Structure 1
Amino acid sequence: MRKSIFPSGILFALALSLPPGTGAQYVIHEGNETGPVKSRTIIVPYAFSTETLGTGLGLGGSVGFDSQPESLSYGSAYGTSNGSWLLLLGASNLKAPGIGRLYISPYAMFTRQTQMRIHGGVDNPGHPGERAGSNDSSKDNYIEENAGEATLNLEMRYILPWGHYRENTIHSYVTRNAILQENPSGAESWNPLESGKSTLLFRPYYRNVFTDVEELETLYFELGFEHDNRDYLPNPHRGYKWNLGISHDFDWLNHTRRWTSVEGEIDGFIPLWDTSWSRQQTLALSWWSAYSPSYDASSPDHDGKPPYFTGPTLGGLWRLRGYPSNRFHDKAAIYYGGEYRVMPEWQPFGEIEFLDPLMIRWWQFVALAEVGRVAPGWNVETLHTDMKHSYGLGIRGMFNTGIGRLDFVFCDEGFSLVAMFGQTF
């Protein structure tokens, strides 16, 4: 069975609309450029087709700010043949007034899906005794409902005055032929005080999913720390990144329940040999795990369980991409990912005039493989038994200073086309 996964609310066309406004805390000086590429406004119409949405038409776009090259605003809207629709508005890396190292990234999304699939929720009478979303659950154990969704997110990041960001919060790279030549942002020392970028994260997040069967609501707060010691943030060639975070819902709203989830991630980047046909080859590796100490997996009411779309969950845009979004979720989860990224010597985009508005700097192809699983407890042996797999190929491109990606991924439940912006890790 063929599946198409498009991000709920952003879609591939928005990935194309994001790059002209970078939304990144860096600027790039390429070759003989005397300054950073200026942000511009772009609007992109798009069309798509998926199993659950039907055929859709939409519009995506972004607006960058010359005065704040690290910031942008963006939006997307679509309507589909089965009556589904979406509206998304957001901004990235807005500098907080009076607090020079604090950046805020808000967004709001409202959507209606007439055939939303959820691998979880109420017990499915067609699969008695089986927990939907568990590691051994059937791919057909889902509910498909007429559903609405509202999401509000307010991400706040404070850049600590350490390492390469000791003096400034915006890093300047010097590249030649899309390869970093001078001024890396990390990978020069293991000491966070000397190398890389360290960030404190605080994020209030609200999401309400209501179907004809039930309403799922959460208002949780995430607190985290991240140390990014990669040499070149948009396309790392060496270095590493790690983060730790904790999320908690205090059960302040009518349809919420109290839950807690902790997670950690480590990503590493290993430079490989170059060849006559490649400009750069990189092995990118990722490990991630999450655990919910509040979840009583033996409880028939799933007491303390995080919502299916957060905490220990796998499947979708970032981890186990061959599976549907949030296909697996439980008390604990683990994930391993690897990508072989190759930037070919052949980069023809400067010679293709009609592509100039997209400001394509380079492209690369990717071979990817992933394994992971969820479990009712954090046990090393259990988490490494009967793991799920996905593998595939991808195409990445850099538009101004943003990354767009398109991954073709296979698993034992079918095939997925995943489109999004930003490298996976």
Structure 2
Amino acid sequence: MKHISYLSLPLFALLIGSVCAHADETLIYKTNDTRKSIVDVEMPKSKDWIVLPFAFSSESTGFAGGVGVIKQGLFQPQTTLVASVFGGIPQTIVTDPNQKEASFKGGFFYFSDYKLPFTNRLFFSVTGLKSYFPNTQYYFDGANDSKKDNVFKTSGSSDFVNTTFKYVLPIGEGIDNPQGLYSLRHGFCIGREGCGGNTPFVTGRTSIGIKTFYQTDTFDDASFSSAPSWNTNGLRFFVEHDNTDFDLNPSRGYHFEVQYSKDFGEGDSLQSWDFLEAKYNHYINLNTFSFTKQNVLAFSVWTGYSFSWDNDKQIIPGIDAHRTPTWEGARLGGFFKMRGYENNRFSDKAAFYATTEYRTILNYNPLKNNDFLPLPIDWFQVVAFVEAGRVNDTYNLDLLSDMKYDVGISLRALAAELPVRLDIAYGEEGVNAWVMINQPFDF
């Protein structure tokens, strides 16, 4: 459904002039709300508030533009604020049997890691979106052997609000630094030379928490009139352990997380569902070359299973009973997993995914001391990656056979203390490009 992040649009629009040029672009709006906080010891105060206009074009939106605002350390030193509003020129859309004009429009808000009053270890984050897309798509049949052309295309709105309440346990690094405040110099974390890859829970940062989620997607196409919208809401419970040297761009160590999501079928939810998932990431610091500052070999494995999904029953034609929405659960394809395929291209009860990335930060940085961009660019990173994954209707060894594969390259930058990436990947269904903030290996 929607290959560009609202947060990264203004950043990469300035860095590379155009975003995500390929035959079938869509727009992505998810973010990682578990990033830690940093203090750049060399960042000028004049760049604390960053206001960025941007413009772009994609199949989902048509030609569009907007303005974004980024602020690090609002109210508290560990917080991050990102907000944007956007709109597009009118496009002709079909809402069977009529034609009309509609425009891409909406707003986005992201505020992370606010320490709640009267607490030392409890942090709050919120992400929200209200949007309308003239042209978007859903793969309701996302089985491993499904066809790319079997896709439902429509116009409609997509709105969500997600919150996170994260408690940092008083063990390891969480004892003395629950905020996760690090210092940066030239985009590299300093004072962390002995951190990363040590004894689990004795070192590193361990968090537990609860997330709330609410999302509603509406379908203007009357052929899907039996379900004119798909609403979901519920809770996620997670345990996370980060034993890396720098969470935004790790060079050594490991990170693992387990999360259980549950829609209880209350309120306007289409139906109840659940999903259990786990991931493990590992990073190895390699020797540098004469033209590089850092070389890292990064690995990630992720798997998940929906206990509730019933392949033998349907609540409406084409929608299995108690299945996860297409943007939730055991899904592959998009900006985090199987980037050579369309967003949420594959989905089923179970999934397995693995990837390897070779990341190198270059000595060369033509924008290091720029005076014409309203944001600092600390480094550029070039990445080569390979991915493999599969979905299945049961959790068994079939997940390791007849897998999907892709390969890709990526250009990344640390812009305004946020990693921003342009990933281009090739799979058996074609080439896809994605613009997003943060390194991949996320849920």
Q: Please give the TM-score of this superposition, normalised by the length of structure 2.
A: 0.84
Q: 1:143 maps to which residue?
A: 152
Query: Aligned to 1:13, what secondary structure does the other structure show?
Result: helix
Structure-2 separation of matches of 1:72 and 1:40: 11
Residue 275 of structure 1 is matched in structure 2 by: 289
Is 1:378 paired with 2:386? no
Give the match for residue 80 of structure 2.
Answer: 72
Q: 1:278 to 1:44 in 2, by over 3 A?
A: same
For the 8 Å contact 1:405–1:420, the answer to whether it is kept is yes
Aligned counterpart in structure 2 of residue 265 of structure 1, from 268, 273, 279? 279
Cross-structure match for 2:22: none
1:332 aligns with 2:350: yes
Q: 1:167 aligns with which of 156, 171, 176?
A: 176
User: 2:198·2:253 contact (CA, 8 Å) conserved in 1?
Assistant: no
Is 1:189 matched with 2:189?
no
Distance 1:78 1:61 in 2: 12
Give yes or no for contact 1:185–1:232 (8 Å, CA) kept in 2.
no
Tell me which of 86, 101, 104 is aligned to 2:121: 101
Q: Which amino acid aligns with 1:367?
A: A
Which residues in structure 2 correspond to 1:188-337 (within 5 Å)?
A: 189-192=198-201, 194-212=202-220, 213=224, 214=227, 215-301=229-315, 302-337=320-355
TM-score, with normalisation over the residues of structure 1? 0.88
Q: String of CA shifts for 1:316-365, please: whole Å, max 9, x gaps.
A: 1111112121111100011111110001122343343323x311111111
Q: CA deviation at 1:10?
A: 4.1
Deviation at 1:300, TM superposition (A): 3.5
**Is the 1:47–1:57 Cα contact (8 Å) retained in structure 2?**
yes
What number of residue pairs does the alignment pair up? 401
Deviation at residue 313 of structure 1 after TM alignment: 0.8
- How far apart, CA to CA, are the structure 2 residues paired with 1:221 and 1:411? 34
User: 1: CA distance between counterparts of 2:40 and 2:370?
Assistant: 21
Contact 1:172 1:183 survives alignment (8 Å): no
Q: Pick the aligned partner of 2:403 from 387, 396, 405.
A: 387
In structure 2, how many angstroms separate the alpha carbons of the residues matched to 1:36 and 1:262?
43
Separation (CA, whole Å) in 2 of partners of 1:4 and 1:393: 21
Q: Partners in 1 of 2:400 and 2:40 — Cα distance?
A: 44
Supply the RMSD in Å over aligned alpha carbons: 2.5
Cα 1:64/1:10, change in 2 over 3 Å: closer
Deviations 1:190-212 (A, max 9, x none): 231x2111011210100111113
Change in Cα spacing, 1:16 to 1:28, as seen in structure 2 (3 Å) is farther
Deviations 1:51-99 (A, max 9, x none): 2322111221223336522112221222223212221122111121112
Secondary structure, in 3 states, of the residue corresponding to 1:297?
strand
Identity fraction in percent: 29
**Contact 1:338/1:369 (CA < 8 Å) preserved in 2?**
yes
How many Å apart are 1:388 and its aligned residue?
A: 1.2
8 Å contact 1:323–1:411 — kept in the other structure?
Answer: yes
Identify the residue that residue 6 of structure 1 maps to in structure 2. Answer: 4
> Structure 2: any 5+ residue segments left out of the alignment?
15-32, 92-102
CA distance in 2, matches of 1:392, 1:226: 28
* Rounded Cα–Cα distance in structure 1 between residues aligned with 2:254 and 2:49: 33
- Output the CA distance in 2 between the equivalents of 1:66 and 1:118: 37
Aligned to 1:129: none
Question: Is the 1:29–1:172 Cα contact (8 Å) retained in structure 2?
Answer: no
Shift of 1:48: 1.2
Q: Which amino acid aligns with 2:169?
A: L
Distance 2:194 2:53 in 1: 35
Matches within 5 A, 1:390-401: 390-401=406-417
Q: Which residue of 2 aligns with 1:123?
A: none
Q: In the TM superposition, what are the counterparts of 1:40-55 in structure 2 within 5 Å?
A: 40-55=48-63
Is contact 1:28–1:36 with CA below 8 Å preserved after alignment?
A: no
- What is the identity, as a one-letter code, of the residue corresponding to 2:83? G
Matched residue of 2:10: which SS? Answer: helix
Tell whether the 8 Å contact from 1:24 to 1:71 is kept in structure 2 after alignment. no
Of 76, 87, 109, the match for 1:89: 109
Whole-angstrom distance in 2 between the partners of 1:280 and 1:28: 21
Partners of 1:295 and 1:154 in 2: CA distance: 25
Deviation per residue, 1:165-205 (Å, 9 max, x gap): 2112234545665444523584252231x211101121010
On the 8 A contact 1:4/1:50 being kept in 2, the answer is no
Amino acid at match of 2:422: L
Deviation at 1:423, TM superposition (A): 0.7
Query: One-letter code of the match for 2:395?
Result: W
**Mapping of residues 24-63 of structure 1, within 5 Å:** 25-28=36-39, 40-63=48-71
